[in-house]
């Protein structure tokens, strides 16, 4: 990708090598593995989406210490260099249009605050780009928050403002079902044909408050309406590319990527195998289709359905994606629209056991960086992917909000 080679000279070789290093920034004799470890330890790494709050809601564990299960805890984050993961305040679509939706969102925010409260020497909340940068200087892991599913807003701009005051800095407008804000990519009922009237009003208010508009999960029509309305750049906090998964609307197609780049936004690549690998996508789609056929005859909770799923999983083991597959998605964005519009949105703790080989938890970020180096990305390129692109969007959102 951006490899630049300097001719080998026998005279003044040190000067020539120094010139080479202005593009690669990799010290002489440093292996890619060593460089990857250094880069991850010396730089901010922003991950757009990690589902720790909902994980600890389901089964409490203390992620300020080592944990046996899950994809995130403090020791593994330190090992991987992850220091600015957006904590996902995820509210299931099943709670849409209920007070429980709003109550759960507040409870999950409480849980993030509790993590910081238990280990203020390790973690700190982050309400701004400045907070992230200051926490990094103090060797603390920032925990900014994004809300996955705007359902808790419940049609109230006053409630939206409360969530901003509590620290929500992006909102994924919908999740797996159409809600009062937006149609979902997963929901065949396109009741709004994009955004609802309130959804359009809410995007405007999000710009005024300084909340990033997140278009992961929404329908294509909702995406285009959101970027048309928003004065600020938008993000896809944890999405991948439809070029690799044809027909999977949850991912973004090339026209959407071009529109996102024109909006100055960022797509943050989801690591889940089903998001990045066509083989894994087909495996899950086939299992779902056949299970649904049985469910129409015997019922969703029937033994026949359970037996089929168990047999399917045994006879056709899940085809995990690899690190290389994830890198292919990053390459595609860079080739199509440029290095400025791609970031990382792993979906750790949110995609179950479907994570790719060599990217199984947050300790694996050096593997990702090593892979980027091997594909010819410069150190400056990698910094853009790891933090600068997302922080640039966040800063612009802050500036637009201050301007009113």
Sign, CA torsion 76/82/84/88: negative
What does the pLDDT read at residue 327? 98
Burial of 129 (0-12, 13-18, 19+ CB in 10 A): buried
Rounded (10°) angle between helices 254-262 and 323-337 = 60
pTM over 0.85: yes
What does the pLDDT read at residue 284? 87
Q: Report, as an integer, the average pLDDT of 371-385.
A: 98
Which of 23-27, 134-138, 154-158, 193-197 bottoms out in mean pLDDT, i.e. has the lowest? 23-27
DSSP 8-state class, residue 26: P
Which tens digits make up the pLDDT trace of 141-170? 999 999 999 999 999 999 999 999 999 999
Q: Which helix (H) or strand (E) holds 343?
A: strand 342-344
Q: How confident is the model at residue 29 (pLDDT cuts 50, 70, 90)?
A: confident
Nearest to 77 by CA among 26, 29, 10, 135: 135
Q: How confident is the model at residue 75 (pLDDT cuts 50, 70, 90)?
A: very high
Q: Report, as an integer, the average pLDDT of 368-397.
A: 98
Burial of 84 (0-12, 13-18, 19+ CB in 10 A): buried
- Domain-wise residue ranges, the chain: 33-273+321-403, 278-319
Sheet with strand 84-90: strands edge to edge: 46-50, 84-90, 145-148, 168-172, 212-214, 235-239, 266-269, 342-344
Start-to-end CA distance of the chain, whole Å, equals 40
Which tens digits make up the pLDDT trace of 204-220? 999 999 999 999 999 99
What rounded mean pLDDT belongs to the chain?
93
Determine what percent of the chain is predicted with pLDDT higher than 90.
92
What does the pLDDT read at residue 27? 64
Which tens digits make up the pLDDT trace of 89-99? 999 999 999 99
In this structure, whether the domain defined by 33-273+321-403 belongs to CATH 3.20.20.140 is answered with yes
What does the pLDDT read at residue 132? 98
Distance of CA 375 to the CA centre of its chain: 22
Contact 218, 234 (CB under 8 A): no
Q: Report, as an integer, the average pLDDT of 8-23.
A: 36
In the predicted structure, residue 19 carries a pLDDT above the cut 50:
no
Which of 6-10, 39-43, 102-106, 252-256 bottoms out in mean pLDDT, i.e. has the lowest? 6-10
């Amino acid at each position: 990708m951006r490899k630049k080679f300097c001719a080998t000279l026998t005279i003044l070789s040190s000067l020539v090598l120094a010139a080479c290093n202005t593009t690669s920034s990799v010290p002489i004799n440093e292996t890619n593995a060593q460089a990857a470890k250094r880069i991850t330890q010396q730089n901010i790494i922003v991950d757009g989406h990690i589902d720790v709050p909902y994980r600890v809601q389901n089964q409490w564990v203390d992620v300020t210490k080592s944990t046996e299960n899950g994809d995130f805890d403090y020791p593994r984050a330190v090992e991987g260099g992850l220091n600015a993961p957006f904590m996902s305040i995820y509210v299931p679509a099943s709670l849409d249009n209920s007070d429980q939706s709003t109550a759960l969102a507040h409870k999950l925010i409480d849980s993030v605050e509790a993590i910081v409260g238990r280990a203020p020497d390790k973690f700190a909340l982050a309400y701004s780009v400045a907070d992230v940068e200051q926490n990094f200087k103090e060797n603390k892991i920032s925990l900014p928050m994004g809300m996955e599913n705007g359902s808790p807003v419940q049609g109230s701009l006053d409630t939206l403002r409360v969530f901003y005051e509590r620290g929500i800095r992006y909102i994924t407008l919908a999740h797996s079902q159409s809600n009062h804000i937006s149609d979902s990519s997963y929901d065949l009922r396109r009741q709004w044909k994009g955004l609802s009237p309130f959804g359009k009003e809410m995007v405007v208010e999000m710009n005024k408050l300084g909340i990033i508009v997140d278009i992961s999960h929404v329908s294509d029509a909702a995406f285009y309406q959101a970027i048309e309305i928003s004065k600020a750049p938008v993000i896809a906090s944890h999405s991948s590319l439809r070029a690799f998964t044809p027909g999977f609307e949850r991912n973004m197609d090339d026209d959407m990527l071009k529109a996102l780049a024109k909006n100055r936004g960022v797509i943050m690549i989801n690591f889940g195998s089903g998001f990045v690998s066509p083989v894994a996508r087909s495996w899950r789609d086939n299992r779902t289709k056949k299970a649904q056929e049985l469910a129409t005859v015997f019922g969703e909770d029937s033994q026949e359905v359970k037996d089929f799923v168990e047999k399917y999983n045994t006879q056709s083991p899940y085809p995990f994606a690899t690190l290389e597959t994830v890198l292919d998605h990053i390459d595609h964005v860079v080739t199509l629209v440029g290095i400025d519009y791609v970031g990382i949105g792993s979906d750790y703790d949110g995609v179950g056991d479907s994570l790719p080989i060599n990217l199984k938890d947050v300790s694996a970020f050096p593997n990702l960086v090593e892979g980027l180096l091997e594909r010819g990305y410069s150190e400056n390129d990698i910094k853009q992917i790891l933090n600068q692109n997302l922080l640039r969007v966040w800063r612009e959102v802050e500036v637009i909000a201050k301007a009113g």
